[in-house]
Homo-oligomer: A and B are copies of this chain.
Amino acid sequence: MAGGQSLVYRGQREALNELNVEEAAEKSKAETPLTDRLRGSLRCSGPRLKNCVLGFFPVLSWLPRYSFRDCALGDLISGLSVGIMHLPQGMAYALLAAVPPVFGLYSSFYPVLVYFLLGTSRHISVGSYAVMSVMIGGVTERLAPDSNFPLWSNETNGSVMVDVLSRDAERVRIAAAVTFLSGLFQILLGLVQFGFVATYLSEPLVRGYTTAVAIHVIVSQLKYTLGISPKRHSGPLSLVWTVVEVCYLLPETNIGTLVVSAVSIMTLIAMKQINTLFPKLPVRIPAELLAVIIATVATWQLSLDSKYNVEVVGKIPSGLQPPDLPAVSLFRLVVGDAFALSVVGYSIAISMGQIFAVKYGYQVDSNQELLALGFSNLVGGMFHCFAVSCSMSRSLVQESTGGKTQLAGAVSALVILVILLKAGELFQQLPKAMLAAVIFVNLHGMLRQFTDIPTLWRTNRVDMLVWVVTLISTILLNADLGLAAAVAFCLLTVIFRTQLPQYSILGQVQGTDIYKPVEEYKQVRQVPGVVIFRSSATLYFANTAMYAEALAEKSGIVVSKILSLKKKDEEAKLKRAKEAAGNGLELKGQSESEDKSQVIEEDGPPDSTLPHTIILDLSPVNFLDTAGVKCLTTIQKDYGKVGVEVLLSGCQNCVIESLERCGFFGEKVTKEQLFPSVHDAVLHRQLTVTSATRERSQTETQ
């Protein structure tokens, strides 16, 4: 029945303009004033306060309803598995951050506990993360380079003995300060509900960025893998200089370290392959833990450190350190890095969190996630941690081993606590090359992202450009400046895309009210006397000039030319009149005027070859700024001068409002020149023209 009805009302109706529609549909004018809306959002009440507290401490709402029977076992197993992964990853990522390994374990403990209390995602594993760690490493090495801590230096061969203890203490201080500050940024962003900043990090940008950071990570770990000590470089192009330096030092490779690296990497890959090939194994092999234990035992038994000079982790202090206020004096130096860390850390965590939320059907609150991560880092910063985010590998393990709530994270933190209190010293003989191997193997996923390039080439070249530019800028300018450059470029692509629109003349698909570009379809017919013009993009300051040019080009009506011809024509006529009066003999002007008089007849009916109407289809316009309105006004006036009427169609309400506020409508131009669809405008124009000709023919016959 509904279908039948709709076919009926399609039948006959008048061509409507916006004014008709507004009257028929009774447009409501009253809007809620801004003050009322503000007041509404600031109102305070009992239930509201309760919601607020529950919102800030999600643990208060989910823990009381925790179902032991359903979740406890899964959370326990998952927590243990993730805790075991935290150990080697934490230590390895501490190397990236250029701080002693034990601080990686701290970072796997305090922030995880805070996130357990405040986080809304049930499956992500917060803690140390390669990308964040290498960004921290960039800061610590920039502000506390080896050269600042000479213990003893030999000026003849330029070798320097570094005071490692005070250097590391300073680096920990810097890492804690930048972590604290990034937490502060995240909290501030969360409080002003700026969760949306992460939306500027589009997927191609994030993938290009993480790939570039993976390359930074690999280059920074080469020294541990090869057992060499290249100079530290910082600032733009430091990656290139480091690679050059490493190549230069290749002959000095420590064979013992290289062997350990090769064996570690191969063992890890083999064990991970087994996990992948046999997904139905009763337990997942804890590849990294096994490798770490084997490497430690082997180094200890074979005395690799003393015999072959293989660098090991060294003393791991037992127990925890008391909290400390961060070094506020450093904030000034690290503000940029801290901001980059806060945005990157958040965007990685939220994207991972949203994937799981969709999969398991729950909600993650983007602003609460910002607060949760912010407090994790803030507290972490006070306990000598470095900035955390969510690790993809650990999160996948947490989910696949049956983790169902944030409790799994708390369990993993307890595992790390036990290791910190009791088992830390067992890993003193762990070779750093082994940790580098852990990092390499964990990065293979990021390097696989290079296959994005051919995929994006096929699907969307602009996105591919963003990917590649992000990669290159991050490689050349490092993680902080590179990210800023990439975001700027990414935003510019949006501008470019709206700056190079497709302009097209629309024609009618025969027998329908559908209008399609005449260039792209063969069987569309231009309505006689009507030019229908559409730009594929919003009309705003960056493309108004092009819009007017394209309209003139596509419609073939160049107002200035017509006007100047008209003017010359008038002058010529005047001259002829004068000549006739003075009986002059100059014929040049006349012959000139005859050439052009065919274009337009002064005061006569408009040239029949000229269209009588231009319809601008504005349906793709998202907003109008003053430049856009001015452009439309100019078009209306200019074409009006040569007798062409300009109608607008398909304006959204916000566009109509902008037109109204900018004074587009006046005596000459009213809302009657505005139509809800192209077809309405065409119908209106055809009807008026037909009736005009009918009237004219009637008066003529009379």
Contact = CB atoms under 8 A, between A and B. Distances in A.
The 7 nearest A-B residue pairs measured at CB? A202-B541, A361-B564, A26-B522, A25-B521, A361-B560, A3-B686, A3-B687
Contact of A623 (B497, B516, B545, B561): B497
A456 B626 contact: yes
Q: How large is the interface on A (under 10, 10 to 19, 20 to 34, 35 or more residues)?
A: 35 or more
| Among A13, A516, A629, A638, residue most surrounded by chain B Cβ atoms (within 10 Å) | A516
Contacts of A21: 509, 512, 514, 516
Interface in A482-505: 488, 490-492, 494-495, 497-499, 501-502
Contact of A13 (B3, B512, B537, B543): B512
A358 B16 CA distance: 34
A634 B524 CA distance: 34
Contacts of A22: 521
B653 A520 contact: yes
Given A361-B561, A362-B560, A686 B509 contact: no
B536 A463 contact: no
Given A25-B521, A199-B545, A514-B677, A683 B6 contact: yes
Contacts of A661: 458-460
Nearest to A544: B199
Contacts of A9: 511-513
B24 A523 contact: yes
A71 to B, nearest CB: 14
Interface string A621-650: 111011101100010001000000000001
A652 B498 contact: no
A521 B18 CA distance: 12
A442 to B, nearest CB: 26
Interface string A529-555: 000000011101111111000000000
A685 to B, nearest CB: 9
15 contacts: A2-B527, A4-B690, A7-B683, A9-B512, A10-B12, A25-B509, A27-B522, A200-B542, A202-B541, A459-B662, A491-B495, A497-B622, A536-B623, A536-B654, A619-B620
Given A25-B524, A619-B650, 5 more contacts: A3-B683, A11-B12, A16-B512, A196-B499, A361-B567
Contact of A542 (B463, B494, B520, B560): B494
Contact of A494 (B3, B26, B199, B495): B495
Given A28-B521, A626-B460, A683-B3, A13 B620 contact: no
A686 B546 CA distance: 42
Contacts of A27: 520-522
A283 to B, nearest CB: 27
A456 B661 CA distance: 9
A357 interface: yes
A25 B511 CA distance: 10
B6 A682 contact: yes
Given A491-B491, A542-B199, A622-B620, A28 B676 contact: no
A418 B677 CA distance: 64
Interface of A: 1-4, 6-7, 9-13, 16, 21-22, 24-28, 196, 199-200, 202-204, 354, 357-358, 360-363, 366, 456, 458-460, 462-463, 488, 490-492, 494-495, 497-499, 501-502, 509-514, 516-517, 520-524, 527-528, 536-538, 540-546, 559-561, 563-564, 567, 619-623, 625-627, 629-630, 634, 638, 650, 652-654, 658, 661-663, 676-677, 679, 682-683, 686-687, 689-691
B625 A509 contact: no
A65 B588 CA distance: 14
B650 A2 contact: no
Given A619-B619, A620-B620, A563 B361 contact: yes
A405 B691 CA distance: 47
A696 to B, nearest CB: 14
A441 B10 CA distance: 65
Given A21-B509, A542-B494, A536 B626 contact: no
Nearest to A203: B627
Given A7-B683, A460-B662, A652 B26 contact: no
Nearest to A675: B514
Contacts of A676: 514, 516
A84 to B, nearest CB: 31
Given A25-B523, A203-B626, A509-B21, A620 B12 contact: no
A537 B620 CA distance: 8
Max count, chain B CB within 10 A of own CB: residue among A517, A541, A650:
A541
A610 B620 CA distance: 30
